[in-house]
Amino acid sequence: MKRVLRNPGNLLVVLGCAAATIAYVLDAQARSRSIENLAFIVPLAVAVLALCLLVLFTQQEPAENAKTKGAEKPRGGAANAALPYYCFGAFVAYVLSIPHLGFDVANMIFVALFVWLQSRRQPLRALLFGLVFGLGAAWVFQTILPYRLPMTLL
């Protein structure tokens, strides 16, 4: 049991995977119990659940999360450790805002914010890059695609 609790993050991942698998199988069998419907997914789900157990009980110490492959070391500090979370939050907010702001405005804000978040300096440069790239990318895609993208300005 100690081994299982040694890496709580991985425990959550495995539990999430197992829960999703069980939910999917229950949904599938509720739709139809025919062999053709379940022949592949039920044995597969059993194998997935067995592997979940195997992963839990054979896991090593939490792995070093630094697949840098020789790239420059991450900038230090606790604030920086949270940076990917902020960046991912900004990314989710960007995608959710597209239907409301359109690709052009959402792109501009996201690019400027994303660049600024990673450096916390030269806000004007980030804003300028956001304006040029965000608007430029929206315009290029709108020109190429045969249908209209959600836009506010273009």
Partner 1 sequence: MWLDFSAIDGALSLLGSSWTAWAVVPLGLMIGLVFGAIPGMQTSMAMAIFLPATLYMDFLSAMLFLTSIFTGGGFGGGISSILLGIPGTSTAVATTFDGWPMTQKGQHNEALGAALFSSCAGMLFSYILLFLTIGFLASFVLNFGPLEMLMVALWGVTLIGILGGASFSKGLLAGLFGLLLGTIGTSPIGITRGTMGIPDLLDGIPVVPAMLGLFAVSELIGLTQRDYIVGAEGARKLSFRRIIAGFGMAMRYPVILLQGSVMGALIGAIPGVGSSVSNLASYAEARRRDENPGSFGQGNPKGVVAAESANSSSEGGSMVTLLALGLPGGGGTAVMLAAFAAHNITGGPKFIRDQTDIVYAIILGNLAQAFFLMFLGLFTIHFISALVKVPIRYLTAAVLVMSVTGAYALTGSMLGPYVLVAFGALGWIMRRFDYSIPAMVVGLLMGSLCDTNLVYVYQISGGDWHYLFERPLALALAVLLLICVAVVPALRWLKETRRQAGASNAG
Contact residues for partner 1 (CB under 8 A)? 7, 9-10, 13, 17, 21, 24, 27-28, 31-32, 34-37, 39-41, 44-45, 47-48, 51-52, 54-55, 58, 60, 63, 65, 67, 69-75, 80-81, 83-84, 87-88, 91-92, 94-95, 98-99, 103, 107, 110-111, 114-115, 117-119, 129-130, 133-134, 137-138, 141, 144-145, 147, 149
75, 23 contact by CB (below 8 A): no
CB of 4: closest distance to partner 1 in angstroms?
14
18-57 b/e (C-beta count within 10 Å ≥ 16 → b): beebeeebeebeeeeeeeeebeeeeeebeebbeebeebbe
Residue of 124, 126, 140, 130 whose CA lies nearest to 106: 130
CB of 2: closest distance to partner 1 in angstroms?
19
User: What is the C-alpha separation between 103 and 89, in angstroms, rounded?
Assistant: 18
Residue type, 76: G
CB of 25: closest distance to partner 1 in angstroms?
9
112, 126 contact by CB (below 8 A): yes
CB closer to partner 1, 1 vs 82: 82
CB of 153: closest distance to partner 1 in angstroms?
15
